[in-house]
Chains A and B, each alone.
Chain A
Amino acid sequence: MQTLCAILAGIIVAASVYLILDRHLIRFIFGLVLAGNAVNLMIFTVGRLESRRPPLIPDQVTAMTVPYANALPQALILTAIVIGFALLSFVFILFYRAYQSLGTVDTELMKVAESDPEADSPASGAGDGGPV
């Protein structure tokens, strides 16, 4: 099972790298989603998989006997998922705004910042109270 999960994580990483290397932001973001999942799966796997023994200490005993299901990777993954979700929602909004004002999702065509950044005007819809 551990081997299977490790290989699966590897396959997802490969797919995500393929998508991330694309110059279209839409594919990039799908790659990012996949990569985040692959990393979480990897953390889960390195905590050693054990499905039959819950991490509970029996009566009259002070410590657990190995092997037991490791609870720490789940705590780590939970934190990573929450952070990853927040980052992803920001990235979606950012890419959407970039698409609205730059008119493209092709990173090769995004060259506004290469010229004089002072010359350009605020993007449309940037009035007070608009989304940040």
Chain B
Amino acid sequence: MSQLLILPVIVPLTAGAVAVMLRKKPGHSFVLAFASAGLQLITAGLLLRYVYSNGILASQIGSWPAPCGITLVADRLSAVMVLITAVINLAVTSYSKTDIDINLVRRGHYCLLQVLVAGVSGAFLTGDVFNLYVWFEVMLMASFGLLVLGQRKSQLDGGVKYVTINLFATLLFLTGIGLLYGLTGTLNMADLNQKIPQITDRGLLTALAVIFLGAFGIKAALFPLFFWLPASYHTPPVTVSAIFGGLLTKVGIYALIRFFTLVFAVDMAYLNYLLPAMAALTMVTGVLGAAAQNEFRRILSFHIISQVGYMVLGLSLHTRLAMAGTIFYLVHHIIVKANLFLVSGVVRQLRGSYQLSELGGLYRSNGWVAFLFFIPAFSLAGFPPLSGFWAKMILIWASLESHQYWLALVAAAVGLLTVYSMTKIWAEVFWKPAPQVTQTVQAPRFPNPSVWMLAPVAVLTGLTLVIGLGAEFVFKFAAQAAEDLTNPALYVNAVLGDQN
């Protein structure tokens, strides 16, 4: 069964390598990428099914016994994250078919896309801290390429900001790994879970945890480390924005969850106050930043930050219910956010702009696009019975249960402000009459978005509805995944079981 752990990584990685050779044939490389994404989805689905019924799956690569070799582990959280990654991969690959210029395909768009997805999946599946660093790098390199592919001035500008801060975060991460190794003599996460409680110097341990919080905080765009995100996410082609917005910050969140439930599963002194404060400030600044924006994708970028705050809120409460809320939020958010970026691309296709002031009247002219925007947007804002409502409700409920009333209050207030931003887009883009000014912006390339663009948007919207209406099932799954997380012994046994 260990093949199931490797396939979701190796399939896109191989496809990425082959796509380098096929990049001069755009048609072929699309078919290859699409097939790879489909295959990855199937393997990820099988992996989730296996983990769902049989519990945590661990595999030692090259048969080196656990703390020495590289371990791949899939618990419920990892498996569901890999599945969502594959869903987004398929959606974005399909969307690329007509959205991505043929010149960009020739320069390796699909290649980078598949390598990015391989890096993300690898980061979700690894059970080794240094290996996590390597997957982060794979992901980062591919994202650098995707971000600047096309070389418009704004892309280079956004790219400089994105690259510099992310490289700094990487070095911070590597520093943390070095110190962790110096302190414990191991880099296997399960083994670290066993060794860390034996360390007597708690001050050193807390300092180390803060280094990791800084490194992953930059990747996840937490307050006050988020400024690179709104400076860069709106510059690449919208396909790239969608996969970045959906997946990349969430890898940072995933790493935070792993580190603070498994590796640093001890009392973390002042981090118990630092994390909730960061979560609250992230939520508030993100949503306020969005309120000040008037460009479709920049509004969405700021909302990523605000939503990341909710996930860290769940992590900081550290109860089972809160963790379940975080996992529910992750699943809901990735789908909705990628979808909203794709919808903004459809609008751009129809009207040739992302500026709210230049848009309007789409409800009258393209009612179905309005519907495809309405569902994810108001799911993000937390309208019942859509998925975002349940995600927010679980987290607020968990805060109340832990007697963190102010956190619950902040979460509810930020939810209301999110409604403000979404209604702003709704009113400006879809509701108000189209502006009469002559179109100075470039004419849309295809007046009607192709089925390759609309199908992924429709499918992701459908998924949002399914999660919203089938919330009970998703919540049960999230609760089980949270059980895995709050009980690290399960994970440790699965990895080190043979020795203990």
A interface residue numbers (CB < 8 A to B): 20, 25, 28, 32, 35-36, 39, 42-43, 45-48, 72-73, 76, 79-80, 83, 86-87, 90-91, 94-95, 97-98, 101-102, 107, 110-114, 116-123, 126, 128, 130, 132
Given A87-B137, A97-B151: A102 and B156 interface contact (C-beta under 8 Å): yes
B151 and A47 contacting across the interface, CB-CB below 8 Å? no
Give complex CA distance A73, B182 in Å: 10
The 4 closest A-B pairs by CB, nearest first: A46-B182, A43-B178, A117-B154, A113-B154
Q: Quick one: which of A46, A94, A126, A128 contacts B160, CB cutoff 8 A?
A: A94
The answer to whether B141 and A87 have CB atoms under 8 Å apart is: yes
Q: Is B234 an interface residue (CB 8 A)?
A: yes
Q: Are B107 and A120 in contact (CB-based, < 8 A)?
A: no
Q: Is the CB of B181 within 8 A of A47?
A: yes
Query: Does B95 count as interface, using CB distance less than 8 angstroms?
Result: no
Task: With A20-B168, A87-B137, A113-B231 as known contacts, state yes or no: A76 contacts B160, CB within 8 Å.
Answer: no
Per-residue contact bits, chain B 157-173, to A (CB 8 Å; 1 contact, 0 not): 11111011001101100
Interface centre among B103, B141, B178 (most CB of A within 10 A): B178
24 CB contacts below 8 A, A to B, read A35-B168, A39-B171, A39-B174, A39-B175, A42-B175, A42-B178, A42-B179, A43-B174, A46-B179, A46-B181, A72-B181, A86-B141, A94-B156, A95-B160, A101-B153, A116-B295, A116-B355, A117-B154, A117-B235, A118-B355, A119-B441, A123-B151, A126-B150, A128-B106
By a beta-carbon cutoff of 8 Å, the part of chain B in contact with chain A is: 103, 106-108, 130, 134, 137, 140-141, 144-145, 148-161, 163-164, 167-168, 170-171, 174-175, 177-179, 181-183, 231-232, 234-235, 295, 348, 353-355, 441-442
Contact in complex: A46, B235 (CB < 8 Å): no
A residues in contact with B156, CB < 8 Å: 94, 97-98, 101-102, 112, 123
Q: Is the CB of B181 within 8 A of A126?
A: no
Interface class of chain B by DSSP: helix
Most chain A beta-carbon neighbours within 10 Å: one of B148, B163, B171, B355: B171
Closest residue to B112 on the A side, CB-wise?
Answer: A132
Least Cβ distance of B58 to chain A in Å? 21
Cβ distance B371 to chain A, nearest Cβ, rounded Å? 25
Check if B159 sits within 8 Å of A83, measured CB to CB.
Answer: no
Min distance, Cβ A125 to any Cβ of chain B, angstroms: 8
- Contact of A79 (CB < 8 Å), options: B134, B151, B155, B355: B134
Nearest chain-A residue to B166 (Cβ)?
A: A87
Q: In whole angstroms, how far apart are the Cα atoms of A79 and B163 in the complex?
A: 20
Distance of A37 Cα from B171 Cα, bound (Å): 10
Chain B residues, CB < 8 A from A20: 168
**Chain A nearest Cβ from B223, distance in angstroms:** 20
Please tell me if the beta carbons of B353 and A118 are within 8 angstroms of each other in the complex.
Answer: yes
Residue of B nearest to A116 (CB): B355
User: Which residues on B sit within 8 Å (CB–CB) of A76?
Assistant: 130, 177-178, 181
Q: How far is the CB of A122 from the nearest CB of chain B, in Å?
A: 5
Most chain B beta carbons < 10 A, residue from A35, A39, A107, A126: A39
Q: Which residue of A lies closest to B233 (CB)?
A: A113
CB distance from B337 to the nearest CB of A (A): 19
Specify the chain B residue showing the minimal Cβ separation from A6.
Answer: B182
Q: Chain A: which residue is nearest B147 at the CB level?
A: A94
| A104 vs chain B, min Cβ distance (A) | 10
- 14 extra interface residue pairs, beta carbon distance < 8 Å, beyond A32-B171, A73-B178: A32-B167, A32-B168, A72-B181, A76-B130, A91-B163, A91-B164, A94-B148, A98-B157, A98-B159, A112-B154, A116-B355, A122-B152, A126-B150, A132-B107
> What is the distance, in angstroms, from B16's C-beta to the closest C-beta of chain A?
14
Whether A122 lies near B157 (C-beta < 8 A) is no
CB-based contact A36/B141 at 8 Å:
no
Is there an interface contact between A120 and B163, defined as CB atoms closer than 8 Å? Answer: no
Q: Could you tell me if A87 and B167 are in contact, using CB atoms closer than 8 angstroms? A: yes
The reply to whether A98 and B160 form a contact with Cβ atoms under 8 Å apart is: yes
Please indicate the chain A residues that have their CB under 8 angstroms from the CB of B183 in the complex: 46
